[in-house]
């Protein structure tokens, strides 16, 4: 995988908060900082457990702002959604999926993180033609694992990712059911808000068009605006970081024994560096992601 985007591919500048938005952020931060424990499960009467370090690290300034934007700047709604995601992350086990556990799902390269788009978004390819396993909960765990890795590889200042779904040479049997599609949408929209920058979907067969029409009522209107169909990928991604099969210059053949350890080593390194910066800065909730990712901004 590429470690960095091309020098010319930079995230768009962050728009400063308005005074009202800053007030709401400060209010939400105060609420979140007061959390000392959260439920172990989503059940109302479930026992609670102390907030863990990785959960505090996850609660960055930008994370809180993503939930505020997704909640149309309702502090109460954003707080509820944040707590719901923290509970889901514990219950689902996002931090417990190891590279070894997920490895069989990606043995044929049906998901590949490779390159960055023109705005420095890391690119996650979904390649159904390389499907190698039968439908199971582990397929969704695999996607969540890859989403987490993709986010780790985003450069400072870039909060979103580019999802490239290529249905070339796929078959109806290699694609998810409506039930799985709804589950994935629920995870993306509720627990990864404001993370999708672009969804570039190419080579759609008729059965995928039908699938998308059936799924359309469950897709958030904002998400729909980020979806592009059959557009030339070279208009979104520099040729030097785009697969040759997709119109770029990168002659890439997936080799699991080479790619898989390289990807996970790179992502693990980024995560260790982020944790070290967070610990040295005082281990605060609401820390800057720009700082944590090694950007020019200092600790908050």
From first to last of its 300 residues, the chain has per-residue pLDDT tens of 999 999 999 999 999 999 999 999 999 999 999 998 887 766 666 678 899 999 999 999 999 999 999 999 999 999 999 999 999 999 999 999 999 999 999 999 999 999 999 999 999 999 999 999 998 999 999 999 999 999 999 999 999 999 999 999 888 776 777 888 889 999 999 999 999 999 999 998 887 888 888 888 878 888 889 999 999 999 999 999 999 989 999 999 999 999 999 999 999 999 999 999 999 999 999 999 999 999 999 999
- Phi then psi for residue 124, to 5 deg, are -110, 115
Q: Tell me the CA distances in angstroms from 88 to 52, 95, 192, 217, one per residue in order.
A: 14, 11, 11, 24
**Where along the chain do the CATH 3.40.525.10 domains lie?**
104-260
Please report the pLDDT score of residue 162 as a whole number.
97
Kindly state the helix (H) or strand (E) to which residue 21 belongs, with its residue range. helix 19-33
Kindly state the helix (H) or strand (E) to which residue 57 belongs, with its residue range. helix 53-58
Distance CA 57, CA 124 (A): 24
- Number of Cβ within a 10 Å radius of residue 269: 12
Please report the pLDDT score of residue 293 as a whole number.
97
Please report the pLDDT score of residue 177 as a whole number.
78
Q: Which residues contact 272 (CB under 8 A, 6 or more apart)?
A: none
**Do 248 and 242 contact (CB within 8 A), yes or no?**
yes
Which alpha helices (H) appear in 93-177, and where do they start and end?
99-102, 137-152
Q: Which CATH number fits domain 104-260: 3.90.79.10, 3.40.50.10490, 3.40.190.150, 3.40.525.10?
A: 3.40.525.10
pTM above 0.75, yes or no: yes
What region does 77 belong to: left with phi over 0, alpha with psi -120 to 50, or beta?
A: alpha
């Amino acid at each position: 995988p590429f470690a960095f985007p091309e020098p010319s591919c930079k995230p768009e500048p962050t728009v400063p908060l308005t005074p009202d938005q800053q007030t709401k952020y400060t209010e939400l931060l105060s609420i979140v900082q007061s959390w000392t424990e959260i439920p172990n499960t989503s059940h109302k009467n479930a026992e609670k457990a102390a907030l863990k370090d990785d959960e505090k690290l996850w609660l960055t300034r930008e994370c809180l702002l993503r939930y505020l934007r997704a909640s149309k700047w309702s502090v109460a709604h954003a707080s509820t959604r944040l707590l719901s995601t923290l509970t889901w992350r514990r219950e689902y086990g996002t931090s417990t999926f190891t590279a070894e556990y997920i490895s069989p799902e990606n043995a044929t390269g049906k998901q590949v993180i490779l390159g960055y788009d023109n705005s420095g978004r890391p690119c996650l390819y979904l390649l159904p033609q390389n499907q190698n396993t039968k439908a199971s909960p582990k397929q969704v765990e695999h996607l969540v694992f890859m989403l987490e890795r993709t986010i780790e590889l985003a450069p400072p200042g870039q909060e979103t990712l580019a999802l490239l779904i290529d249905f070339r040479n796929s078959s109806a049997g290699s694609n998810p059911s409506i039930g799985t599609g709804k589950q994935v949408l629920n995870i993306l929209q509720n627990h990864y808000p404001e993370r999708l920058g672009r969804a570039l979907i190419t080579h759609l067969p008729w059965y995928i068009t039908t699938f998308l029409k059936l799924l359309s009522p469950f897709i958030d209107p904002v998400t729909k605006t980020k979806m592009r169909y059959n557009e030339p990928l070279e208009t979104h991604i520099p040729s030097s970081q785009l697969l040759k099969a997709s119109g770029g210059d990168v002659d890439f053949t997936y080799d699991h024994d080479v790619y898989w350890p390289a990807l996970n080593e790179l992502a693990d390194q980024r995560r260790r560096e982020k944790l070290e910066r967070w610990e040295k800065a005082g281990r605060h909730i609401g820390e800057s992601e720009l700082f944590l990712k090694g950007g020019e901004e200092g600790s908050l």
